Structure formats: structure tokens, C-alpha cells
């Protein structure tokens, strides 16, 4: 099996903790890290010790190499577009971390540049491979819940934050930081169609000037509506997913999901009573519920590794064997368009740079 030669730009939380970790510990049979880069060059030492790779403090020097199959752009969010442009212009395939861009027009530009150069432009949206999400889709697609009315997704918790990912000019805030994960999942319920967006944002516990509470409603005629939250001021997070269906429902988190439903053939709708109910009764019945449950196994419970392994496995098939991307830039473009509209509806005064 041919190994894909990789260079990683950025050795911070994500560059080291997610990408270098995944390539070294999870898919080392498919990938080889040949170079890493970080302006704080000491950050490169751990990956160099693990792999013997070359290290750089200036990515422009790294891009002079000729032995790299793909460059991972794991730089700060406000550098994603400009550095992807440089990587593609230098003649390399590129995988960029999320958020892919601030504006959908920037995605369009990079898609066209990649086509012009004959290179791959890919975006790290690993949550499409989350085991809990796969189970939710499986239950919905089975039809047992009937027509789906509403899908609720909550990536909530309680935390204060005071780093660069609270600054608008860094293309940050909860919707750009965490939002691409649940939003990518949410948009799959619209079958490639762009939904209407209603969004409210707030700032509760951030030192910077970006939002840390997001409430979003996505709608499209003929589709279930999606109620999405990404909040850092939710002290009692109760679920990751809830699904409301005509024949039942589902609830659960990343480790356990439960659902119950009834069979309409076994539980026919009682005849309509247009006049007063006998004995002033309310409508009551005993439905014959059926139940299902999923619990994450040992591998699935390590959600980050589970998702990353499958993302990189699929990316290998694209790079080595020409398979189509599992998550395309065009799909991510829709996500960025939704985020742009959400920010348009919620202009927040900038304190440290230009407003979004």
C-alpha cells in the first residue's frame, strides 16, 4: 500500500492533537508525515520525535518541496483561505480545517483554483462520520418514526472562553468554531437544497467580541425543520439529538440513543368525534409502543478518533484511488452561506477588528 506523504501547517491544538495524532496513531499504514510547520517552532518537536519529519517555522519554505502529496492547512481560521490559495498555487493538494472560509464566494474561488491547477481541495468535516449521527440517520431512514416533523440538534455546554477563538476578526465565535460540526449534519436533512435561516446570537461568557450562544431554525417546504443550538451558557445540557415524528420519536447524546414508535396498522386512528366527547372525556388511548436503543461500543465511544479515522480512510481512497470526496467543497459552501446569513441577522459590534 502506497503511503500518502503529508505536510502539516500548524502544530497547535488541532494540528498536533487531532491531525498529527490521527495520522500517527490511527492511519499510519496509509499516511506518512514528512514535514510540519509552526511559527512557534518548538511546537513541532513532538511530531518530529514521533516521525522523524522535517520541521519549519515558515510554511513558504516548506512549499518549495517536491515530495509532498497533500498539505494540511491547520492554521488559525482567518488564514484558511489565503494559505489554501498559496498551497494550490504552489501545486499541492490541500486539506483545510474548518471553518473553510468566512464567505461562500471564497469557497467558489478555491474550487475554481483547484480545478485550474488539477489539484484536490478538501475540507476536514469529520462529524459526518460520527457514530451517533449515523444511528440517527439510520432510524429516520428506516421509516419507523413516520413523517419527520422536527430534528433538534444541541452542541451545548457551559464554559467561559478568553482565547483567539472569541475574536471576530479571527473568524471565530461558536458558529465558526463548533458550528461547522452540527451544521454539516443538519444540512444533510435538506437533501442538497438550501434552507431558509432564522438565527439569534448572544454573548454570555466570552472575553472577546464574538458570540458564544447560537439558536438557529432551518426550514424548507417539504422537509422537517431543524432546530440547532450551539451554546456555551447551557449548564444543563440534556441531549445531542431529538427527533419528532408522526409515529414516534428519538432522543440521545453521543454515547446513547433511544427511540420509540408505534405501528399505525396496529394502532389505527380512532374515528373523528365532531360533537361532545362521551362522559366529557379527553382523548386518551394506550398505544402499543415499540422501543429501540443504541449504545456506543468501545471504539464508537472515542468519538474524535472514530470520526478522524473514517475521514482519513475515505480521503486516502480519493488520493490513492481516485474515489470521489465524501464531503465536497460544494456541500461546505452551503454551510458557509448559512453562517454568513446568520451573522447578517445578528451584527455584533466589533471591539478588536472589523465586524463580520
Q: Where are the domains of the chain?
A: 4-124, 128-304+336-345
Taking residue 101's Cβ as centre, other Cβ atoms within 10 Å add up to 27
**Low-confidence residues of the chain, pLDDT below 70?**
354-356
Task: Identify the pLDDT of residue 356.
Answer: 43
Answer CATH for 128-304+336-345 from 3.30.450.90, 3.40.50.720, 3.30.360.10, 3.90.960.10: 3.30.360.10
Task: Identify the pLDDT of residue 195.
Answer: 98
* Location of C-alpha cell 461568557: 205
Residue 151, beta-bridge partner list: 226, 243
Same fold, 4-124 and 128-304+336-345: no
Residue 306 region by backbone torsions, left for phi larger than 0, else alpha for psi between -120 and 50, else beta: alpha
Give the class (CATH, top level) of 4-124: alpha beta
Task: Identify the pLDDT of residue 187.
Answer: 98
> Is 355:347 a contact under the CB 8 Å cutoff?
yes
Task: Identify the pLDDT of residue 286.
Answer: 94
Amino acid at each position: 500500500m502506497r503511503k500518502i506523504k503529508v505536510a502539516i501547517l500548524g502544530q497547535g491544538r488541532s494540528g498536533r492533537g487531532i491531525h498529527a495524532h490521527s495520522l500517527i496513531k490511527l492511519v499510519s499504514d496509509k499516511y506518512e508525515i514528512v514535514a510540519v510547520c509552526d511559527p512557534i517552532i518548538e511546537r513541532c518537536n513532538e511530531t518530529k520525535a514521533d516521525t522523524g519529519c522535517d520541521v519549519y517555522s515558515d510554511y513558504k519554505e516548506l512549499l518549495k518541496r517536491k515530495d509532498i502529496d497533500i498539505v494540511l492547512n491547520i492554521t488559525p481560521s482567518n488564514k484558511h483561505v489565503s494559505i489554501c490559495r498559496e498551497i494550490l498555487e504552489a501545486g499541492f493538494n490541500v486539506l483545510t480545517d474548518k471553518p473553510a472560509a468566512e464567505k461562500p464566494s471564497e469557497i467558489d474561488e478555491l474550487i475554481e483554483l483547484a480545478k485550474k491547477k488539477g489539484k484536490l481541495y478538501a475540507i476536514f468535516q469529520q462529524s459526518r462520520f460520527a457514530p451517533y449521527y449515523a444511528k440517527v440517520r439510520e432510524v429516520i431512514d428506516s421509516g419507523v418514526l413516520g413523517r419527520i416533523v422536527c430534528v433538534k440538534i444541541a452542541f451545548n455546554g457551559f464554559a467561559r472562553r478568553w482565547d483567539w477563538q472569541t475574536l471576530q476578526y479571527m473568524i471565530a465565535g461558536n458558529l465558526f468554531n463548533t458550528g461547522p460540526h452540527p451544521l454539516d449534519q443538519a444540512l444533510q436533512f435538506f437533501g442538497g437544497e438550501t434552507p431558509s435561516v432564522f438565527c439569534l446570537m448572544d454573548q454570555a461568557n466570552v472575553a472577546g467580541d464574538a458570540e458564544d450562544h447560537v439558536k438557529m431554525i432551518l426550514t424548507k417546504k417539504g422537509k422537517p425543520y431543524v432546530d440547532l443550538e450551539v451554546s456555551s451558557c447551557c449548564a444543563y445540557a440534556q441531549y445531542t439529538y431529538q427527533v419528532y415524528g408522526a409515529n414516534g420519536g428519538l432522543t440521545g447524546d453521543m454515547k446513547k440513543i433511544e427511540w420509540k414508535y408505534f405501528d399505525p396498522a396496529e394502532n389505527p386512528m380512532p374515528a373523528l368525534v365532531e360533537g361532545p366527547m362521551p362522559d366529557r372525556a379527553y382523548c386518551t388511548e394506550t398505544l402499543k409502543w415499540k422501543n429501540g436503543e443504541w449504545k456506543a461500543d468501545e471504539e464508537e465511544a472515542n468519538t474524535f478518533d472514530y470520526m478522524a479515522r473514517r475521514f482519513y480512510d475515505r480521503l486516502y481512497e480519493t488520493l490513492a484511488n481516485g474515489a470521489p470526496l465524501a464531503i465536497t467543497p460544494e456541500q461546505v459552501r452551503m454551510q458557509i452561506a448559512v453562517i454568513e446569513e446568520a451573522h447578517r441577522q445578528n451584527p455584533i459590534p466589533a471591539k478588536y477588528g472589523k465586524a463580520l
